[in-house]
Structures are given as C-alpha cells and as structure tokens.
C-alpha cells in the first residue's frame, strides 16, 4: 500500500492522495495533452521525475544550481500599489517606486510597467503620460524594463468600441456580419498596438510585451501578430515578447490565417512558431488550470505542452505561472508549495527558458 | 541573461554561456551571490544592495551594454542625448 502525499487540487484545496493516484493523474494529464495537440506524452523517466518533484517532502522546492531561469512579468510591480482585484497589496507608492522596489528589493530579473487597465486601447489617449513615465523610469532602472499590456480585442466591440458585437450577431445567425466585425476589430487592434509600440520606441523602450494575446479568439491573435510584424519592420531593434492566452487559439472567427497558417486551434508548439515567424523575440506559453483536477494532472499536462514547444520553438519560451495557469492553482494567494513544484517541473522537465 | 534573450533571441543555456564568457566566470558563478556581489560592484553593473556612488540605473546599463556588446535602446537614446 503506497503512502499518502499532501498536494492540492486545481482550485487550491489541500488533499491527501496516494502515490498510485498521483501516478494515475500524471499519466492521465500527459495523455490528455498529447492527444489534444498530437504531441508526444512524457517519457516514463520524466513521469517519474515529475512524481519525485510533487512528492518531495519539503514545502518549498527548487532547481539545482546552474538550472535557474529568468523571470518576465505581466505588470508585477503594479501589485505593490494596486488592490485585491489586481493581485495587489495596496501600498501607496508611485509606479517608479514600485518598479525600483521590485527590481532591487525583490531582485527581479526584468521589470515592467503598463496601463492599470492592462489593455493597449486605453493607452492611446494617454500615450504622452505613459511615454513620460516609461522614459523617467528607464533612466533609473537597471534590469530590462518592458512596457506591457493585453491586446484585448474585446474592447473594440460595441458598446465599448466601434465594431458590431459578434456575440450579439451570432445568436441571430448573422455569421458573415460577425466575421466581418472581428476582421474590422483586428485592424483597429493592430493599429493601436503599432501606435503605442512606435511611441514607446521613440523614448527608448527596452522591450514590449503583448500579453495574453488571443483572449478574444483567433482574430485577436491575428491582430497582435500583424502588430509584431509591423513593429519589427518599423523598429527592428525593439524586443517583443508575445504571450498567448491559452493552450489553443480559440476559433471565434475560424478562418483567419497569418502567412497562410490558420490560427484557430493552434496549440502552443504551433503558436510559438507563428509568433516567431511574425518576428517576436520571446514566446509566452499559457496553459489553463482545470480546478477540478489535481495539481499533478494539471502540471503533467502543462509540462507536456511546454516540452514540445521548447523543443520546436525557434525563440525562447517563457511559461506563464500566474494564478490558474500552467498547473498553478486558481487561487488569489497562490500556495508556495504548488508554485515552486510547478516552476521546478516546467524548468527541469519542460525546459522553459524563463517563467 | 534576459538582455540576451531579448536582443539576440538566445535560449537560456546559450544566454548563460554568453554572459559567463563575457564576465569571465563559470556558469555556476552567475547565480552565486558570493561571486557576483563583488564582481557586479567591480564591473559597475549594479548591485542589489545600494553602494553610495556606485553605478545603478542608466550608468549601470551603459556598462552592461558595453560588456555584453548589445544595443540597449534606452542606453542608445541616452547616449544620443549627451553626445
């Protein structure tokens, strides 16, 4: 009879389960990812390594010396001064103070700023505020400073934006109109991303982050890809990190293609290639956590997707380890036992270039 | 390492090798506080604890760009403004 191990469910709940149940969850998780994306399952050795990581009796685990990777973020310094809904701790401090505290007190590898709405569209009317802020901070920061936000194409649909809303058109069977609305919104999105990117480039932007691309579907992903391509043509030396929003590109449109590649249904190893093809320098991988399955199941699944992505990606791959992503439980305060196990497995087995 | 991923698209192991060679240290030294703390101060590339008068911010980035032989866009802009 195997001993019971303390672990968690995808919603963070503590559970005691047997090693044999953990093994079954790892088998099921990797098989699920492999079947979905038509990629190899984890080998027996890697499954055993993953089991060792999960069953490590220590609360906090880590990689071995020399295996460390770098960390990029999606507005982490905002968490110093923002509130609970932004994962923030509510300390009254300026953006510059937050970046410097993150960089120096937390020894961050990279830092970033972004609009507090964390979308590019609302940056446009306040671009001078943002460029001034970026420039001032870049003069005193030492680690790479990104300007980041989400493409968030949903903001271009009525009532928030100019385009008809596909979610209202589709239930009425107006399919052509829904497709046209998404194509129009993608153009608005590209235009705004390029506008902000070019203005940031003028003030010496060290790196741009298109975070959570594709959150409104394949047209959203397309809009971001087109922006990367345009910015790399206009400002070739400005590094761009393009991160995805999920394990596959949702086919809200279904027919949109970038350089002949249909985007709907692309899994991470395919996303990375198209992102690199557009000209991005780093790809961000995101795998949703299933809250009704264990961390072991979720992590086996995430590592399987990541392993194939890092193997085939021409650019560095950073695995997203925010709440509810890549096996991290969907919990406001993410438990350190799960966070460190997920991080270790993504680096050691998934071969992530960064987190 | 982050600068190398951003500016040269290097994967993590290539980035570590490159930086270690440029700093003339071993791979394991890159994350060894005992080695890197004095080396960072000596090279003027910024230290975690604040040493009065020691480079940080733009002054440190100028040195980082020079040591790694990479263009850092904020540094390029700064240099264009003081030249």
- Comparing alpha-carbon positions, the chain B residue that sits nearest to A207 is B6
Q: Is the complex ipTM more than 0.95?
A: yes
How high is the mean pLDDT of chain A? 96
Mean pLDDT of A67-94: 92
Q: Does A264 touch chain B (CB under 8 A)?
A: no
Q: Is the pLDDT of residue A31 over 90?
A: yes
Mind telling me how many Å the CA of A180 is from chain B's nearest CA? 35
pLDDT at A1: 53
Cβ of A142 within 8 Å of Cβ of B71? The answer is no
A112: helix, strand or coil = strand
pLDDT for B77: 97
What integer is the mean pLDDT of B57-79? Answer: 97
Average pLDDT over residues A90-114: 95
Tell me what pLDDT residue A75 has.
86
Average pLDDT for A309-323: 96
Run of H or E including A319? strand A317-319
Give the CA distances from residue A197 to residues A227, A256, B2, in Å, rounded to whole numbers and listed in that order: 9, 23, 20
pLDDT digits (tens, 9 = 90+) for A155-192: 999 999 999 999 999 999 999 999 999 999 999 999 99
pLDDT digits (tens, 9 = 90+) for A257-268: 999 999 999 999
Lowest mean pLDDT among A1-10, A85-94, A131-140, B29-38: A1-10
- pLDDT value for A86: 83
> For A14, left (φ over 0), alpha (ψ -120 to 50), or beta?
beta
Domain extents for chain A?
Answer: 4-348
Q: How far apart are CA B60 and CA A199, in angstroms?
A: 25
pLDDT tens per residue, range A319-333: 999 999 999 999 999
Q: Which CATH architecture has domain A4-348?
A: Alpha-Beta Barrel (3.20)
Neighbours of A57 (CB within 10 A): 7
Full DSSP string of A230-288: HHHHH-TTS-EEEEESSSS---SSS--EETTEE-TT--HHHHHHHHHHHT-SEEEE--B
Give per-residue pLDDT as tens, A81-94.
999 888 899 999 99
The Cα of B25 is separated from the nearest Cα of chain A by a number of Å equal to: 13
Of A109, A141, A204, nearest to B77 by CB-CB distance is: A204
CA angle (A191, A318, A145) in 5-degree steps:
60
Q: What percent of chain B has pLDDT over 70?
A: 100
The nearest CA of chain A is from the CA of B24 a distance in Å of 16
**Average pLDDT of span B59-64:** 97
SS3 A313: coil
Q: Which distant-in-sequence residues (6+ apart) come within 8 Å of A221 by Cβ?
A: A213, A214, A244, A249, A258, A263, A266, A271
* Nearest residue on chain A to B77, alpha-carbon basis: A204
The pLDDT, as a whole number, for residue A2 is 64
> How much is the pLDDT for A3?
78
């Amino acid at each position: 009879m195997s001993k019971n191990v303390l672990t968690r469910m995808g919603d963070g709940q503590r559970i005691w389960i047997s090693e044999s149940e953990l093994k079954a969850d790892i088998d099921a998780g990797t098989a699920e990812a492999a079947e979905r994306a038509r990629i190899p399952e984890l080998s027996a050795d890697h499954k055993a390594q993953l089991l060792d990581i999960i069953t490590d009796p220590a609360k906090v685990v880590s990689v071995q010396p020399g295996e460390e990777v770098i960390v990029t973020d999606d507005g982490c310094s905002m968490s110093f001064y923002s509130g609970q809904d932004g994962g923030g701790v509510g300390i009254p401090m300026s953006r510059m103070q937050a970046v410097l505290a993150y960089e120096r007190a937390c020894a961050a590898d990279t830092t970033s700023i972004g609009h507090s709405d964390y979308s590019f569209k609302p940056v446009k009317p306040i671009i001078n505020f943002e460029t001034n802020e970026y420039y001032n901070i870049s003069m005193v920061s030492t680690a790479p400073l990104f300007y980041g936000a989400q493409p968030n194409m949903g903001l271009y649909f009525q009532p928030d934006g100019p385009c008809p809303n596909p979610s209202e058109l589709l239930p009425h069977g107006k399919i052509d109109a829904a497709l046209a609305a998404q194509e129009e919104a993608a153009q608005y999105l590209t235009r705004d991303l390029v506008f902000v990117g070019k203005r940031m480039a003028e003030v010496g932007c060290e790196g741009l982050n298109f975070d959570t691309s594709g959150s409104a579907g394949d047209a959203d992903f397309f809009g971001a890809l087109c922006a990367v391509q345009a910015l790399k043509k206009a400002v070739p030396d400005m590094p761009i990190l393009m991160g995805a929003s999920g394990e596959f590109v949702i086919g809200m449109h279904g027919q949109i293609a970038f350089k002949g590649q249909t985007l709907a249904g692309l899994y991470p190893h395919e996303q990375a290639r198209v992102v690199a093809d557009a000209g991005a320098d780093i790809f961000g991988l995101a795998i949703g956590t299933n809250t009704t399955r264990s961390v072991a199941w979720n992590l086996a699944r995430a590592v399987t997707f990541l392993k194939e992505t890092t193997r085939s990606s021409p650019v560095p791959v950073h695995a997203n380890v925010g709440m509810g992503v890549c096996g991290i439980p969907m919990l406001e305060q993410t438990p350190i036992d799960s966070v460190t196990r997920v991080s270790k497995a993504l680096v050691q087995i998934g071969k992530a270039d960064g987190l | 390492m982050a600068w190398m991923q951003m500016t040269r698209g290097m994967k993590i192991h290539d980035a570590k090798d490159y930086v270690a060679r440029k700093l003339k240290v071993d791979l394991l030294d890159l994350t060894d506080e005992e080695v890197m703390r004095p080396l960072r101060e000596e090279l003027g590339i910024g230290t975690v604890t604040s040493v009065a008068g020691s480079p940080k911010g733009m002054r440190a980035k100028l040195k980082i760009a020079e040591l790694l032989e990479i263009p850092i866009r904020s540094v390029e802009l700064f240099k264009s403004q003081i030249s």
